[in-house]
Each structure stands twice: as C-alpha cells, then as structure tokens.
Amino acid sequence: MLDFAHTTKEHDETRQGEALLIENNVSKGNGRKLYIESYGCQMNFSDSEIVASILLETGFETTKNYQEADVVFINTCSIRENAEQRVRNRLKEFEFAKKSNPGMIVGVLGCMAERLKAKFLEEEKLVDVVVGPDAYRDLPNLISQVDDGNRSVNVLLSREETYADISPVRLNSNGITAFISIMRGCDNMCSFCVVPFTRGRERSRDAASIVKEAHDLFNSGYREVTLLGQNVDSYKYTAPTIEGQEASTPVNFANLLALVAEVNPLLRVRFSTSHPKDITDEVLHTMASYDNICKYIHLPVQSGNSRVLELMNRTYDRDWYINRIDAINRIIPGCGISTDIITGFCTETEEEHQDTVSMMDYVKYDYAFMFAYSERPGTLAAKRYADDIPEEIKKSRLTEIVAKQRAHSFERLQQFVGKNQRVLIEGFSKRSDKDFAGRNDQNAMAIFPVDERYQAGDYVTVMIESCTSATLLGKIVD
Ligand code: 5AD
Ligand code: SF4
C-alpha cells in the first residue's frame, strides 16, 4: 500500500508547481484548434491520445476538420516505404489547405519525424515542427517557437520516458474499447525493422499507473482494454524501493495481465504484440485462468523458414515457433491466433517461401497481416544484405499467401457457426444503425440486429447463423 499521508506535503507542492505551469501554458493554446491524424500501428494511435492530452492541458481544443485547424499534426509510420509515401501525399493536401489558412502550423510526429529528423524541414517546406515519439512533452514549447517565427525540432530519444503520468484523451473513441500503452521502444533488432531506430530502447511503464488507467477507464464505462507494446512479453517493472521498506517485487507480463484482469471481471483484457521468443507458459496459464482475458494472441511469425528467420535476426527457428503454437493450443484450447508475415525477404528462395505456406497450413491463423519486404534505410538488413528478390516475385508470393489466409480465415470463422458466442457490443455496425457490431473472445467481429434492450458496453449472447471470410452474422438470444 502507498502511504498517502506521508507524501501529502510533497504532493501539495507539486500540485502548485503544476498549476503554475498550466496557467503559463494555457496562453500557448489560447483556444486554438488542434487536428491530429494517425498512421501505422496502434501505438501511434495511442501516442496521439497522449499528444492531445498534453495540448489540451495547455489550452488547445481538438477538431475533426483539418481545414478549420490552427495546428495540424500528422503522426507518422516508417515501417514500409509505402507508409511514408502516404504521409507525403497527405502533406500535399495540407499544403493546399495552408494556402487559404496561412497561419496554420503543420507538425510531423512519430517514426518518420524520428527517422528523417531536421532533414524533414529541408525536404518539406510546409512543415513547421518535427517531433519524435519521446519528445511530446516538449510540444507546447516547440509550438511557441513556431509562434515566434521559427521552425522547431525535437527528436531526442529517451531511456526513461513512458508518459506514465499522462491520462490520454480518448480520440475517435467508441467509449467501450481503449488502448493502454504499457511499454515503449524495442530492443530486438529484427534486421528488417526500423522501429528500434525510431522508437528507441525498450522501457516498461509503472505497473501501478497502468492498473489505475484501467480502473479509470472501467469507471468511465469502458469494457475492454488492449495493453500495447512492441514486445509485451518482455514487460518488466520494479517499483523504486522506498527507504526503510522491503525491496519491491518485479512485475512481469503475466503478473501485469492478472493485475489488470482483476480490475473488474466485466473488463475484457487484450494485448499486442507478443514475441515468439519471449511468450512464456506462465502468460498462457494466466490467460487460461481469467475468463476476462481474451483468448486471442497475435504472434508474428514473419517467415516459416529457419534460415530466413536467422537472417531476419528473429532469434527463434521454425521448430521453436511450432512449439509455442502447440503450447497455446494445449494450454488455451480454441485460442484465436493471428500473425504478421513478410514475403520476399533478402535471398528467400521459392522453397523457403513454401515453408511459410506450410506454416500457415500448420497453424491455420484466424487472421494475418501480410507484407512484401520493403528495405528500410539504416536497418541491419539494408546494411548487410541485398534486397535481391524482384518486386513481381515478392508480390506473387504475397498474392499466394493472401489467398491462403482468406480461405483459412473463412474456415476458422465457420467453427463458430451454429454456436452461441459471448459478444461485447461496441456500437452500431459501420453499414447500418439497425445492426450492432462487437467481437467475441477470439477477436472475431460479429454483426447482429439491434435489440432495444441492449446498448454499447453490454455483453450479449449471439447465436451465429453464418459467416463471410471476415465477419460472423447472427442474432441475440436470451
Ligand atoms: N518490410 C515489410 N514488412 C515489415 N514489417 C516490419 N518491417 C518491415 C519491412 N521492412 C512488418 C512485420 C512486422 C509488422 C509490424 O510490419 O511483419 O511484424
Ligand atoms: Fe520491429 Fe522486431 Fe521490434 Fe517488432 S520485435 S518492433 S519487428 S524490431
């Protein structure tokens, strides 16, 4: 237990300090309108909520329309070249908007900002601010510099920053499902991946602040949280020891999952992303022992061939991955499994590609994110290996696995047809407000007619009558 009485005075002083800071900062926002658009992974979307929180504290308001914004931020992704190209195209549209709104400040946040740093300001004349993922606390100051007629950059990476004390402002939220960032950065150095360079070293967030965020979300009506990290299985946090007290016990990912699951049995817990080298049986047993930890694991395989996995520096081989899949199926029967796959990595032969295909047949993934290899400047693969697989071969291998995955997704969804599924209603379906949409435990999306007795945030039993390759269709049963 924390000793609150003991720390009250200290807290009062900090509060005053904060109040002063906020007063000074409020003039920076001055009711100006902020627009943020996010690309890439869930972590980026989660970061944008931290950015919004920091700027709302300083007197900004948010808007959903960039044409009426005073500050336009684009939170960017560098993972593949086409992700960066999409951002550049979007910046051109902002350039057009700036012509009729010359005072508009345009900022580039996230991985592309970190990768290109000040070079961005040379390349893209309309960009006023460049901010890396660990420098968001500096945003009010950077915006002030622009107000003073300068362009500003902060791309310092940190070994400590986790934004643990910042309550994210939920953007575009359905009010039911939310992300909680539990760690930042990545230490793995997969040879194809730019993330360790753009997001820096791995660090875990204070467990107590994570549990508090989950509590607060539950009390505000949220019913599902997704714990986010590049490699959640290596989460590890030890609270600083208070003088005169026993040393704190380290919290690993399995412990953290249990702590969050205990917030309330009605709060569903999901997480992403797991790493095949680090996912432990302890995590699997914890998942099995809590009804509210969803039975779904995203376990990127990248390739089904051991030689290619070695070149990718994934630090596991085909047998190890299969062993982890077998453990999941043994400890959590019926668990949903999804993956990431890259086709056409440096020197990949047709035979090695077929190992990926046979891995898909072995696991029968519920879902997969599939990509053609895209060389990223500065990565180990870019330095060590030639990007020697012709584009059309990368694409034809990709087409092959996409078709296979579509068949597997359909097959996996069919297992639910004729069965009752517990579904959390997330809101109306995208197509019609006559239907509700929500997911089952294994993350499959279900669509079913609205029943007036229920609303978003309720758990209902849905009888699944049919499915497409992406969606379950059914009706609520009592
Ligand atoms: N080329 C293609 N796909 C990539 N990914 C990461 N880097 C690259 C790259 N250079 C994919 C991996 C990863 C996912 C987030 O993006 O499959 O798991
Ligand atoms: Fe990139 Fe590998 Fe880290 Fe994932 S685990 S972010 S693929 S380096």
Rounded Cα–Cα distance for residues 376 and 192 (Å): 7
Q: Which residue among 193, 272, 279, 310 is best mutated to probe the pocket of ligand 2, counting the most ligand atoms within 8 A of its Cβ? A: 193
77 is in an annotated binding site: yes
What are the tens digits of pLDDT across the range 240-261? 988 888 888 999 999 999 999 9
| Ligand approaching nearest to the C-alpha of 78 | 1
Name residue 80's amino acid.
R
Q: 178 C-alpha vs ligand 1 centroid, how far in Å? A: 24
Contact 203, 183 (CB under 8 A): yes
Which CATH superfamily, name and number, covers 11-154? Methylthiotransferase, N-terminal domain (3.40.50.12160)
Q: For residue 73, which of 26, 32, 129 has the smallest C-alpha distance? A: 129
Q: Which ligand lies nearest the alpha carbon of 230?
A: 2
Q: Is 467 annotated as a binding residue?
A: no
Per-residue model confidence as pLDDT tens digits over 110-138: 999 999 998 888 888 889 999 999 999 99
Q: Is 300 in the pocket of ligand 1 (CB under 6 A)?
A: yes
Hey, where are the domains in the chain?
11-154, 177-413, 420-477
C-beta pairs of 148-152 under 8 Å, 24+ apart in sequence: 151/121, 151/127, 152/128
Q: Give the fold, CATH level 3, of 177-413.
A: pyruvate-formate lyase- activating enzyme (3.80.30)
Tell me: is residue 294 an annotated ligand-binding position. no
Q: Whose CA is nearest to atom 14 of ligand 1?
A: 340
Nearest alpha carbon to residue 459 among 410, 420, 429, 413: 420
Q: Tens digits of per-residue pLDDT, 14-49?
A: 333 333 333 444 557 788 999 999 999 999 999 999
- C-beta separation of 239 from 248 below 8 A: yes
Atom from ligand 1 closest to the CA of residue 79: 7
* Structure-token pair, residue 146: 């622009």
Interval 397-422: pLDDT, tens: 999 999 999 999 999 999 999 999 99
Of 77, 79, 187, 188, best ligand 2 pocket probe by most atoms within 8 Å of the beta carbon: 188
Q: Which helix (H) or strand (E) holds 17?
A: helix 4-29
Question: By the 8 A CB rule, do 188 and 274 touch?
Answer: no
Is residue 302 within 6 Å of ligand 1 at its C-beta? yes
Q: Is 335 annotated as a binding residue?
A: no
Q: Is the beta carbon of 373 within 6 A of some atom in ligand 1?
A: yes
Percent of all residues in the chain with a pLDDT value above 90, rounded to a whole number: 87
- CA distance linking residue 214 with residue 457, whole number of Å: 15
- Measured from the Cβ of residue 287, the count of other Cβ atoms closer than 10 Å reads 23
From atom 18 of ligand 1, which residue's Cα is the shortest distance away? 340
Place of tokens 């995955």: 405
303 lines ligand 1 (CB under 6 A): no
Predicted pLDDT of residue 27: 56
Binding pocket residue ranges, ligand 2, CB within 6 Å: 186, 188-190, 193, 195-196, 230-231, 275
Amino acid at 478: D
Find out whether 305 and 343 touch, Cβ atoms under 8 Å.
no
Residue 368 β-bridge partners: 339
Are the C-beta atoms of residues 337 and 324 closer than 8 Å to each other? Answer: no
Q: What is the pLDDT of residue 279?
A: 97
- Tokens representing 49 are 């909520």
Q: What is the pTM of this model?
A: 0.92
Half-sphere exposure of 28 (CA within 13 A, CB side): 22
pLDDT in tens, the chain (478 residues): 222 222 222 233 233 333 333 344 455 778 899 999 999 999 999 999 999 999 999 999 999 999 999 999 999 999 999 999 999 999 999 998 888 898 999 999 999 999 999 888 888 888 999 999 999 999 999 999 999 999 999 999 999 999 999 999 999 899 999 999 999 999 999 999 999 999 999 999 999 999 999 999 999 999 999 999 999 999 999 999 888 888 889 999 999 999 999 999 999 999 999 999 999 999 999 999 999 999 999 999 999 999 999 999 999 999 999 999 999 999 999 999 999 999 999 999 999 999 999 999 999 999 999 999 999 999 999 999 999 999 999 999 999 999 999 999 999 999 999 999 999 999 999 999 999 999 999 999 999 999 999 999 999 999 999 999 899 999 999 8
**CA–CA separation, 289 vs 426, rounded Å?**
25
Q: What is the CATH number of domain 420-477?
A: 2.40.50.140
> Which of 80, 338, 402 to mutate to test ligand 1, by most ligand atoms within 8 A of the CB atom?
80
Residue at 183: amino acid letter: M
Fold match between 177-413 and 420-477? Answer: no
Is 346 annotated as ligand-binding? no
Angle at 144 between CA 143 and CA 145, to 5 degrees: 90
Ligand number with the minimum distance to the CA of 198: 2
**Spacing, Cα 402 to ligand 1 middle (Å):** 16
